[in-house]
A = this chain, B = another copy of it.
């Protein structure tokens, strides 16, 4: 008997941004695997069971969830944001590929969600209004040299850049180094957005020119977005400025 795994995106953290599809997938599962703070967002019934784990245990968490489903259970693996963006969907796929053949027979559903960069962008205008990229700044799973190479390539080519996992206690210097790399290709005035907890009561969204961007403004839960040379700021008096990247481009890059 083979069970079911739903990998569910819970959105940025505001219950109002959880899709009905995600809410139904939560209602339909019995076992819930995920990083503690995400699992704790769920208001579960008495018959539903939380199995919280630590942040850097994605593969063992995915394997435990698949093992449980292989026994015929209905299992949910929960992610903040969208599960396909630097989150659990890839970890579940990795575990399936490396695991026993029977895991390939498990029914797998992935439920998309609003990922952090979209939520932050919506709070400030339209910084992702033109070509953009998303880069995880964590060098736990890839060499730092590759991250620098990518930052250099996309900033030179005029992409807006969203950085996920910008900083942590174990990775204190990487964001500052990233800003240094970007300063080589981008104007000093390029807006840098530090977006934390978008849409939640503890939301904090701050904007600085690249020349003054301070890595200490970010924490693990911050999405950092760096504009392209074409990104613009609209001052609005006592309303917060809008930051947006026009849909058109003259073709100039830094």
Contact = CB atoms under 8 A, between A and B. Distances in A.
Task: Give the residue among A58, A135, A245 with the most B Cβ atoms within 10 A.
Answer: A135
A131 interface: yes
Contacts of A202: none
A105 B236 contact: yes
A85 B119 contact: no
B18 A19 contact: yes
- Interface residue tally of chain A, by bracket? 35 or more
Contacts of A118: 9, 82, 84-85, 112-113, 115
A151 to B, nearest CB: 9
* Number of identical monomers bound together in the oligomeric complex: 2
A14 B111 CA distance: 12
A236 to B, nearest CB: 4
Interface string A128-157: 111111111000011101100110011011
Interface stretch (A43-51, A89-97, A172-180, A205-213): A89-97
Per CB-CB distance, the 6 closest pairs between chain A and chain B, nearest first, are: A90-B129, A133-B133, A93-B244, A89-B126, A141-B248, A142-B249
11 contacts: A9-B122, A16-B21, A82-B114, A83-B126, A84-B127, A90-B245, A93-B125, A93-B244, A105-B239, A131-B133, A142-B251
